[in-house]
Structure 1
Amino acid sequence: MEKLMQYVWQHRLWRQNDMRTVDGRRLQVIDPGRLNNDAGPDFFNAKISIDGRIWAGNVEIHFRASDWHRHGHSSDRAYDSVVLHVVDRDDAVIRRSDGQIIPQMRMPCSPDLHLKYGALVGAADRDIPCAGAIKDMPSVYITDWMSTLGFERLYAKAERLEEMRRRFGGDWEQAVYISVARCLGFSVNSEPFERLAMSMPLMFIGKHADSQLAVEALLFGQSGLLDRYAGSDPYAARLSREYAFLSHKFGLRAPEALGWKMARMRPPNLPYRRIAVLASLIRSGFRMTSRLLAVRTIDDAMALFSPAMDGYWSTRYTFGPEGNRTLKAMSRESVTIMTINCVAPLMMAYGTVHGDTHLTDRASALLHSLAPENNRIVSMFGEAGIKVPDAFTSQALVELRRNYCEKRKCLYCRIGHRMLADSARRRE
């Protein structure tokens, strides 16, 4: 509850005319101060007026006034600079270490504020407790928040890619290779795919990039997915023998338990199929950075992420019997997701590093040109009244759900802020 009270104080969500100290003196907040996230008083450098006299110092906030004593502040000289104690329950007089009484006030907020806050942060994972408020908010307010969230997610992905590049000594190609591998895993197998790529350096694959067998052997061997089929499928057995030779040559060790997920997965998304696609992208040399940066439309991305699936994988999703039809590398929907999660972040990262604003602008423009994702999060917010015209907005909604709703950071969400601000200022 103190967190909510700090929020109300920080954002001035009170009725100024109602503010008095517990002993009846008129109080005016000139400056609420700066929120302190470390040890010490909650707000530094505040400025208040009590009956016309100006006080400058710190502010401490507690649910109960008696918490001042329970927390040991009465004997802590770090709290001697507190000029105001803000509480919900006025159940004790508080003093500085020298015995001087500190002015105290009760937070003058609407009585339903706590209930509203509890309803927001206590809702079940699948609920949108602010759904009613979304429908009532001006569209320009929602649009502005979606714009902020969309860029927030795009910058976060770009920074992740840039961190990977720095990790590999500034090598864009290695970072992009790992990023492409991660994206091929989509949300379900993104971590195993990233770990696979990290364990199989691009420079080793490059030495045998002209051999489809060698590239697939290296990737499948490192993935740990060959053992199950090597005894029953001739091609898997061949890959296993090739991997034994190459792993000895390069001193490779397959990582333990990558954690592949297979349950309830559509055949085109199985890791076997996705590894085969990655192998086809690498065949004859990866060299993807410049090609990704040149993408301008979804058709460009389709051409880039649709390598020819020759031979064994032209008719198979996994090891085993041959299928009865030729298969595409990826569907248009899958390529759209790859563009969202791989191409646009690379443009933003590369443009930021090189000071190329045209490229960073193209990153967001590309997302605005793509169809929105079709997932539960997008459907949920769509039903609540948010229009989702493009992938930039669908990404904004994923950011909202993952980093605000699920983490119960309603205080930091503009929709939650609007709801709580209205409740805080509503008269009894």
Structure 2
Amino acid sequence: MKEDFLHYIWQHQYYRKADLATTEGEPLQVLRTGYYNTDAGPDFREAILKIGDVEWSGSVEIHLRASDWRRHQHQTDLKYDQVILHVVWQADETIRRTDGTIIPVLELKDRVDTSLVYTYRQLQEARTTIPCANVWPAVPEITKTMMLGRALTERLEQKGQEVLQLHANYNHDWEATAYHVLFKGFGFKINQEPMERLASALPTAILRKQQQLFQLEALLFGQAGYLADAATDYAQQLAKEYNFMSHKYSLQDTAMQRHHWNFMRMRPANFPTVRLAQLAAVLANRQSFFTAILEAQTIKQYEALFMVPVSEFWQQHFTFSPEPGKATKTMGKDSAHNLIINVAVPLLAAYSHFTVDRAYLEKAIELLEKVKEALNKITRLYEELGWKATSAADNQAALSLYQNYCQPVNCLQCAVGNKILKQNILSRS
């Protein structure tokens, strides 16, 4: 058993309240459980209790054993002098404040329904990847739908917070922030890290000054390290342009090398050289990429932000090799949808939080609902339980549910887990 189970019991008051009393025999009445504290100090603050004939206001601390108070050194911490009740599973010791006064104790081990304890332990000790897999079908659909909706919102908030941290790092410049997120997105997992390095090696102020696709390609490929030993005529033209601009803007010291990029185990259409050519086309097509993200309305408009024709050379090549290949003019729709999920949606979520305007978050969710996303090994786990993903919104919700609740066995904070515990579904199955 873990302390979070006792937090859950106390917060929801899932224990027998008849003849409620402290271990000293004083009658106890809970008028307010208090607010769960995620910071340092007692577990629940601003609780209101009636012990005997006296009404108390203060904090509640929760432990598995009363002696944990001493093990955690609370007896020397002034923050815990405000505790008015010590809630424990087993009262194995009398505990005191720093001034030596005894703290009232509520022991729960004989007051909690054994079926609730059994259900909790079954979830905690489950050998399945999804702890509640065996009873998932018995949980009402509305509960699962509500929890997945909450999980999706939490994932967008998390992604938004990551963008807001970048926003702070870029001196609150939204366009610079959007460029960094765009570069990372064009890494498509395998090359995310080098793409982020390239974003840092190419100041946004320099990129903003370039209007021509040729100049942008020269900057991107030069800083990425692809022009050092240019072999084709086109690469040599880019190298000449890059050498001029790298001296003009003092870029030599931050230039990357070709070995920083990954080509292994990927189709030619996904090569980083192709992605850089596509990125250059996107940058050349929009003076203000962030504004375009905010102003686009339809899924077609968002697709158009990324599905931009590349230069003539890259319509026939995958690398700077002299031999042409069967390349394409623009990226595919699946790749564009990937960028909508990993670039547009996080930027909208971040801006929603920044402006306190939920309309941008709702736009992000609407985009995810209209975009298809391939299943992965995590979302397939839920499909095997009978739940079917129909959009990127479903996929993202399932990922969030797994990472934040199922994998860490955080059932007590999950609406599905709460329903199972409250109805003792496991004990009846």
What range describes the TM-score normalised by the shorter chain of this pair? 0.7 to 0.9
Partner of 1:374: 375
Contact 2:213–2:280 at 8 Å: present in 1 too? no
Partner of 1:270: 271
Residues 374, 18 of structure 1: alpha-carbon distance in 2 compared, 3 angstrom cutoff = farther
Q: CA deviation at 1:7?
A: 3.3
- Rounded to whole Å, the distance in 2 between the matches of 1:418 and 1:351 is 31
1:95 aligns with 2:96: yes
Q: CA deviation at 1:63?
A: 1.9
TM-score relative to the length of structure 2: 0.82
- Rounded to whole Å, the distance in 2 between the matches of 1:379 and 1:147 is 18
Contact 2:135–2:425 at 8 Å: present in 1 too? no
Partner of 2:317: 316
Contact 1:134–1:386 at 8 Å: present in 2 too? no
- Rounded to whole Å, the distance in 2 between the matches of 1:259 and 1:411 is 44
Residues 54, 195 of structure 1: alpha-carbon distance in 2 compared, 3 angstrom cutoff = same
Partner of 1:143: 145
Counterpart of 1:313, as a letter, is: W
Counterpart of 2:415, as a letter, is: R
1:215 aligns with 2:223: no
Partner of 1:109: 112
Choose 397-406 or 165-174, whichever is displaced more: 165-174
Counterpart of 2:341, as a letter, is: I
Counterpart of 2:254, as a letter, is: A
- Rounded to whole Å, the distance in 2 between the matches of 1:199 and 1:218 is 10
- Rounded to whole Å, the distance in 2 between the matches of 1:71 and 1:313 is 64
Deviations 1:146-175 (A, max 9, x none): 222323333444454455455545544333
Counterpart of 1:249, as a letter, is: K
Q: CA deviation at 1:278?
A: 0.4
Contact 1:14–1:425 at 8 Å: present in 2 too? no
Partner of 2:415: 414
Q: Percent identity?
A: 36
Residues 378, 297 of structure 1: alpha-carbon distance in 2 compared, 3 angstrom cutoff = farther
Partner of 1:180: 182
Choose 327-336 or 70-79, whichever is displaced more: 70-79
What is the correspondence of 1:342-353 to structure 2 with a 5 Å cutoff? 342-349=343-350
What is the correspondence of 1:171-250 to structure 2 with a 5 Å cutoff? 171-212=173-214, 214-226=215-227, 230=229, 235-236=234-235, 238-250=237-249
Residues 304, 68 of structure 1: alpha-carbon distance in 2 compared, 3 angstrom cutoff = closer
- Rounded to whole Å, the distance in 2 between the matches of 1:391 and 1:8 is 36
Counterpart of 1:221, as a letter, is: G
Counterpart of 1:267, as a letter, is: P
Q: CA deviation at 1:33?
A: 1.9
Partner of 1:41: 42
Contact 1:223–1:254 at 8 Å: present in 2 too? no
Counterpart of 1:336, as a letter, is: H
Does the residue aligned with 2:254 lie in a helix, a strand or coil? coil
Counterpart of 1:143, as a letter, is: T
Deviations 1:333-362 (A, max 9, x none): 111121222234444555666676655543
Choose 39-48 or 155-164, whichever is displaced more: 155-164
| Matched length | 423
Q: CA deviation at 1:219?
A: 1.0
Structure 2 stretches lacking a partner, 5+ long: none
Does the residue aligned with 2:42 lie in a helix, a strand or coil? coil
TM-score relative to the length of structure 1: 0.82
Residues 389, 52 of structure 1: alpha-carbon distance in 2 compared, 3 angstrom cutoff = farther
Q: CA deviation at 1:277?
A: 0.6
Contact 2:230–2:236 at 8 Å: present in 1 too? yes
Q: What value does the CA root-mean-square deviation take over the aligned residues?
A: 3.6
- Rounded to whole Å, the distance in 2 between the matches of 1:123 and 1:195 is 42
Deviations 1:271-290 (A, max 9, x none): 22211110122236543344
Contact 2:157–2:349 at 8 Å: present in 1 too? yes
1:29 aligns with 2:27: no
Deviations 1:66-90 (A, max 9, x none): 2233334445555444332222233
